[in-house]
Chains A and B, each alone.
Chain A
Amino acid sequence: MDGSRTDDSTEGQETVRDEGHVVAEGRRIGPVLMELRNITLRFGGVVAIKDISFDIREGEIRAIIGPNGAGKSSMLNIISGFYTPSEGALLYRGETRPPMRPYEVARLGVARTFQNIALFEGMTVLDNVMTGRLTHMKAGLVAQALWWGRARDEEIANREVVEKVIDFLEIQAIRKTPVGRLPYGLKKRVELARALAAEPSLLLLDEPMAGMNVEEKEDMSRFILDVNDEFGTTICLIEHDMGVVMDLSDRVVVMDYGRKIGDGTPDEVRRNQDVIDAYLGVAH
């Protein structure tokens, strides 16, 4: 990223102003929540991710961008515990995280949405969002089946959280609608609701705007910013739409062919020559 600096004086000024802006908005960017150290991921002979390090700070919106096949989703899958890196370490709140199953990672407070919506199509929006509370339910199978004692209290408490999320994402009108009947943009929002219902400390969004029209993108951007602002949730997102990424995120990691080619504020990344080459192509 340093190679891209063509005019040092303006660069410096802009950075200062950017930081000042962040402070003025009252956003609370805290210490490092998750750190990825020299991560490499191989599938047999294919190297999907090669020696990548970056960190995610508490309360920030961190974007991972890159052209198709750059390894973005693999990166997200490593964070969510779906893949175990071939080399390198993953530190969560300063401690090395041992290889974990995805459900264990979820219990740590990491929730995610998927690129190709993964909801229960036959269930209502409400029930889908309730599944996001699964990690918070302790009652046994029998108690749940009989809806008795602790199971009942738990469901009421969990429903309260879910209703707040429904209210927050303005999906009250479709509360009782089966997900299969909803248009694509709303399904995406329901998926975000389910992830939020888990009250995550780290929210992973895999292409939250993919396939949306401009208006839906604007709505989704507003919800992402509101989530971050209202609950202070740390968000790590993958996105293709450069405009959206640059507007939303505090810091951006740029990947290309499994390597990291840029890391910094949107403005820094935008001026990075390697990034420009990766996106616009270079004459060889």
Chain B
Amino acid sequence: MAHQSGGAEDPRSVPAMLARNATRHADRPAYREKEYGIWQSWTWAETQAEVEAFALGLLDLGVARGDHVAVIGRNRPALYWSMVAAQMVGAVPVPLYQDAVAEEMAYVLGHCGARFVIAADQEQVDKVIEIQQGLHQFEHMIYVDPRGLRSYDHSRLHAYVQVQAQGRAARATWLPELQARRAALGYDDTCVMLYTSGTTGKPKGVVLSNRNILETAKNSASFDRLDAGEEVLAYLPMAWVGDFIFSVGQAYWTGFCVNCPESPETMMTDLREIAPSYYFAPPRVFETQLTQIMIRMEDAGALKRRMFRHFMDLARRVGPRVLDGKPVGLLDRLHYALGEACVYGPLKNALGFSRVRVGYTAGEAIGPEIFDFYRALGINLKQLYGQTEASVFITQQPDHEVRPDTVGVPSPGVEIRIAESGEVFYRSPGVFVEYYRNPDSTAGTKDAEGWVATGDAGFIEEATGHLRIIDRAKDVGRMADGALFAPKYVENKLKFYPNILEAVVFGAGRDRCAAFLNIDLTAVGNWAERNAIAYASYQELAGHPRVLDMIQSHVEEVNRSVAGDAMLSGCQIHRFLVLHKELDADDGELTRTRKVRRAVIAEKYADLLAALYDGSEEIRTETEVTYEDGRKGRIRAHLTIRDAAVGPVGMREVAA
């Protein structure tokens, strides 16, 4: 820890940090990747050699200072090295979402004017080839995995290893230039550019400087006492700011090891094998995992089921207190220890959470039951609140001050201000430089004093100093009768049911609320199987009367809970329907980070929305869908609309 408090002599860029680690942590592992069934590893010294060889190769290809180098693919050491190598030659790495369809990619590549693209495999290479006609500045593409690319035209296409070999061969020629460029990197030079998915409009390129990334890494690492001994699993999209902070910023700052899974499908196995000590996952991952555990417990033998229930009841009561170091009776403590040996330990081991010292979740609200389940097991799961524009950290929960309904206290170095409208503002060393080529948006988000608008409405709890987020500031509206309308508050309550995957609540400016729902195919499918309900497709299952009955009971339970809140009782759901297709980012209904785009959905399903309010009981509709490969098709459906019971009207009158 002592070394992290260093002052002026601290490296001022990620490549400089790499050089430091190559000396200080020379023989410690920096990267691991499972390939050919074995965890291959690279020490910091080897990493330095790999990155340098590639950087020399980039110089040989003609990468200039200030060029944008796009990086597209799943988490692999070679792609992380590509980003650092790009920085080393004075260029700006721009990681892209690998599941973006070609046209989305075309916008981003065109907007940043990337001259070079580093693509993971044939799939990504094909996408770029498809759109290269419209990209005037695009010159060369480098690929990592050569499979299927042998017969491609290689005049502008290069293999990663080839570029490295070229770099090694031309080392004598380019080394002085490389050293000059590396030495010239300053604290306020651009470190990385990340495109935000944006719930509305085109993605914006967030420019983050070395100062943003390194200061944030330093502050957040000290907050959780991260050191060179941590293990992380890099499996979240490389284009997401969180992955950049965890797998590059904090990893380079502290010198810990970044582990890359073998393939997206083996993620869970790899997680178990690595057993990370520092782990991040969006709420959805924890939800899915909990759903799977519950499904598997349903299928387990009677004895195991009873043991699981017994010890989980105990864990819910005692676990969080044990974790927070609060007093717990001796008997309970012994009982909990027995549970650890019989249930919690093996379960954590199966999930890959045996060694998690610091776990975070963020991005969306997490269901209290889900959150408490993991904490009850003794996993130190915490919440943080962050944004790309803040280099992630705005607030985070300190150990022993963890609650499901807050997002924690301001991170070190962050100031928070709540505007009169209720919108949360922050200022920190991590605050982004600008939106690339978009001064209007920059000015609209960040004021002259460096305060940034989050777009979220929230308040600080006086007793604890913790921040609580209610909803997106622009989504908090009023209903026709003036009652407060906070759709996300209700949607989150709905989504806490494992059977409901996605919910979209409407009601702004109307006299009552209505909702579109998506069922969760895994949970509902399993339920259908156990209840001998046959179905041929998602659509058929979603429209099954018994599924609708079940969903209706969930909606009514939520209504009861919402009715209890005087401020928000107007948000009870009067009518709902279960959509015939899953909301999908490929159709533009969700952002790439899976947030619902309310306006897009309202427009696309205008006929369904109208039906929710005109009292009709069923409706026929036809919807355009985009398949994974970009082709489009149409699906037809016949939907039933259900009325849900709502709580006492008296409550509403109080609120109104």
Tell me if chain B binds chain A.
yes
Give residues in A with beta carbon < 8 Å to B: 25-27, 126, 159-160, 163-164, 166-168, 170, 172-173, 175, 222, 226, 229-230
Distance in angstroms between the alpha carbons of A160 and B36 in the assembled complex: 7
Residues of B near A159 (CB, < 8 A) are 37
Quick one: which of A172, A173, A226 contacts B148, CB cutoff 8 A? A226
B64-72, B201-209, B260-268, B431-439 - the one binding chain A: B260-268
Q: Are A172 and B263 in contact (CB under 8 A)?
A: yes
Q: CB distance A167 to B150 under 8 Å?
A: no
Task: Kindly list chain A residues whose C-beta atoms are within 8 Å of the C-beta of B38.
Answer: 163
As a 0/1 sequence over residues 422 to 449 of chain B, the CB contacts with chain A under 8 angstroms (1 = contact) are 0000000000000000000000000000
Q: How many residues of B contact A (CB 8 A)?
A: 13
- Given that A160-B36, A163-B36, A166-B37 are contacting pairs, would A229 and B150 also be in contact in the complex, using a CB cutoff of 8 Å? yes
Report the Cα distance A208→B151, complex, angstroms.
24
Question: In the assembled complex, which residues on chain B have CB atoms less than 8 Å from the CB atom of A226?
Answer: 147-148
Give me 20 other A-B pairs in contact (C-beta within 8 A), A167-B35, A172-B265 excluded.
Answer: A25-B151, A27-B151, A126-B37, A160-B36, A163-B36, A163-B37, A163-B38, A164-B36, A167-B36, A170-B263, A172-B263, A172-B266, A173-B263, A173-B269, A226-B147, A226-B148, A229-B148, A229-B150, A229-B151, A230-B147
16 pairs of residues in contact across A and B, judged by CB atoms under 8 Å:
A26-B151, A27-B151, A163-B38, A164-B36, A166-B36, A167-B35, A172-B37, A172-B262, A172-B266, A173-B263, A173-B265, A222-B148, A229-B148, A229-B151, A230-B147, A230-B150
Q: Mark B243-268, 1 if CB is under 8 A from A, else 0.
A: 00000000000000000001101100
Question: What residues of B have a CB within 8 angstroms of the CB of A126 in the complex?
Answer: 37
Residues in A neighbouring B266, C-beta threshold 8 A: 172-173
- Looking across the interface, which residue of chain B has its beta carbon closest to that of A167? B36
* Binary contact track B142-163/A, C-beta < 8 Å → 1, others 0: 0000011011000000000000
A168 to B37, CA, bound (A): 12
- Using CB atoms, name the residue of chain B closest to A218: B629
- Are A175 and B151 touching (Cβ within 8 A)? no
Give A207 to B550 CA distance when docked, in angstroms. Answer: 45
For B265, what are the chain A residues with a Cβ–Cβ distance below 8 Å? 172-173
B263: A residues at CB distance < 8 A = 170, 172-173
Residues of B within 8 A of A173 (CB): 263, 265-266, 269
CB under 8 Å from chain A, chain B span 139-187: 147-148, 150-151
Task: Give CA–CA (A25, B150) in the complex, Å.
Answer: 9
B-chain residues with CB within 8 Å of residue A229 when the two chains form the complex? 148, 150-151
Task: Report the minimal beta-carbon distance from B182 to chain A, rounded to whole angstroms.
Answer: 35
Q: Name the CB-closest residue of A to B35.
A: A167
A221-B265 Cα distance, complex, nearest whole Å: 21
For residue A10, give the distance in angstroms from its CB to the closest CB of chain B: 27
Residue of A nearest to B145 (CB): A167
A26 to B151, CA, bound (A): 6
With a CB–CB cut-off of 8 A, which chain B residues contact A175?
37
Q: How far is the CB of A230 from chain B (nearest CB, A)?
A: 6
| Distance between Cα atoms of A25 and B148 in the complex (Å) | 11
Question: Roughly how many angstroms separate A84 CA and B150 CA in the complex, as a whole number?
Answer: 39
Q: Mark B104-140, 1 if CB is under 8 A from A, else 0.
A: 0000000000000000000000000000000000000
Say how far B289's CB is from chain A's closest CB, in angstroms: 16
* Cα A198 to Cα B82 with chains together (Å): 36
What residues of B have a CB within 8 angstroms of the CB of A163 in the complex? 36-38
- On chain B, the residues within 8 Å of A27 by CB distance are 151
The 5 closest A-B pairs by CB, nearest first: A173-B265, A163-B36, A26-B151, A173-B266, A163-B37
Instruction: Give the docked Cα–Cα distance between A168 and B263 (Å).
Output: 12
B: residues with CB less than 8 A from A are 35-38, 147-148, 150-151, 262-263, 265-266, 269
Closest to A161 in B: B36
Complex formed: what's the CA distance from A58 to B624 in Å?
46
Task: Compute how far the CA of A274 lies from the CA of B37 in the bound complex, rounded to whole angstroms.
Answer: 50
The distance from the CB of A168 to the nearest CB of chain B, in whole angstroms, is 7
In whole angstroms, how far apart are the Cα atoms of A126 and B263 in the complex? 17
A223 CB, min distance to chain B CBs, angstroms: 10
B148 contact set on A, CB distance < 8 A:
222, 226, 229-230
Q: Once the chains are docked, how many angstroms separate the CA of A27 from the CA of B35?
A: 28
Closest Cβ–Cβ distance, residue A144 to chain B (whole Å): 20
User: Which residues on the B side are within 8 Å of A26 (C-beta)?
Assistant: 150-151
A167→B263 CA distance, assembly (Å): 9
Q: Inside 8 A of B151's CB, which chain A residues have their CB?
A: 25-27, 229
CA–CA, A25 to B153, complex, Å? 9
Residue of B nearest to A165 (CB): B36
Distance between A277 CB and nearest chain B CB, rounded to angstroms:
35
- Report the bound CA distance from A159 to B38 in whole Å: 11
Chain B residue at smallest Cβ distance from A166: B37
Which of A163, A167, A168, A222 gathers the greatest number of chain B CB atoms within 10 Å? A167
Q: Which residue of A lies closest to B265 (CB)?
A: A173
Which B residue's beta carbon lies closest to that of A126?
B37
For the complex, what is the distance from the CA of A163 to the CA of B40, rounded to whole Å?
13
Contacts of A167 in B (CB 8 A): 35-36
Report Cα–Cα, A26/B149, bound state, in Å: 11
A163 to B36, CA, bound (A): 5
Cα A126 to Cα B38 with chains together (Å): 13
**Cα separation A248 to B237 with both chains bound (whole Å):** 35
Q: Which residues of B contact A230 (CB under 8 A)?
A: 147-148, 150
B631 to chain A, nearest CB (A): 13
A27 to B36, CA, bound (A): 27
Chain B residues positioned under 8 Å from A160 (CB to CB): 36
Per the bound structure, the CA–CA distance linking A173 and B36 in Å amounts to: 12
Q: Which of B37, B263, B269 has the most CB of A within 10 A?
A: B37
A residues in contact with B269, CB < 8 Å: 173
**Bound Cα distance from A229 to B35, whole angstroms:** 22
Indicate the member of B36, B147, B151, B269 with the most A CB atoms within 10 Å. B36
CB distance from A173 to the nearest CB of B (A): 4
**Are B147 and A168 closer than 8 Å at their CB atoms?**
yes
Question: How far apart are the CA atoms of A172 and B36 in the complex, in Å?
Answer: 8
**Chain B: minimal CB distance from A222 (Å):** 8
Per the bound structure, the CA–CA distance linking A26 and B154 in Å amounts to: 12
Chain A neighbourhood of B150, CB < 8 A: 26, 229-230
A129–chain B nearest beta-carbon distance, Å: 11
Complex CA gap A62/B565 in Å reads 71
Q: Give A229 to B147 CA distance when docked, in angstroms.
A: 9
Give the residues in chain B near A170, CB-CB below 8 Å.
263
Least CB distance, A183 to chain B, in whole angstroms: 14
Q: Smallest CB-CB separation from A225: which chain B residue?
A: B148
Cα distance, A226 to B148, chains bound together (Å): 6
A107 CA to B418 CA in the complex, in Å?
76
Complex CA distance for A172 and B34, rounded to whole angstroms: 10
A116 to B208, CA, bound (A): 57
State the CA gap A180–B266 with chains docked (Å): 19
Inside 8 A of B37's CB, which chain A residues have their CB?
Answer: 126, 159, 163, 166, 172, 175
Q: State in angstroms the CA–CA spacing of A77 and B579 once bound together.
A: 52
Of listed A126, A168, A226, residue having the most chain B CB within 10 A: A226
Among residues of A, the one whose C-beta sits closest to the C-beta of B264 is A173
Tell me the complex Cα distance, A222–B121, Å: 14
Chain B residues with CB below 8 A from A172, complex form: 37, 262-263, 265-266
Q: Would you give the shortest CB distance from A185 to chain B, in whole angstroms?
A: 14
Complex Cα distance, B150 from A27, in Å, reads: 10
* B35 contact set on A, CB distance < 8 A: 167
- Kindly provide the distance from the CB of A103 to the nearest chain B CB, expressed in whole angstroms: 28
- Minimal beta-carbon separation of B261 from chain A (angstroms): 9
Q: Report Cα–Cα, A226/B122, bound state, in Å.
A: 11
**A164 contacts which chain B residues (CB < 8 A)?**
36
CA distance A230 to B36 in the complex (A): 17
Min CB–CB distance B601 → chain A (angstroms): 28
**Separation of A159 and B262 alpha carbons in the complex (Å):** 17
Q: With A and B bound together, what is the CA distance between A222 and B148 in angstroms?
A: 9
User: Given the complex, which residues of A lie within 8 Å of B262, measured CB to CB?
Assistant: 172
Q: How far is the CA of A229 from the CA of B150 in the complex (A)?
A: 8
Select from chain B the residue with minimum beta-carbon distance to A222: B148
Quick one: closest A residue to B261, CB to CB? A172
Complex-state Cα separation, A77 to B147, whole angstroms: 32
Q: In the complex, A32→B265 CA distance in Å?
A: 41
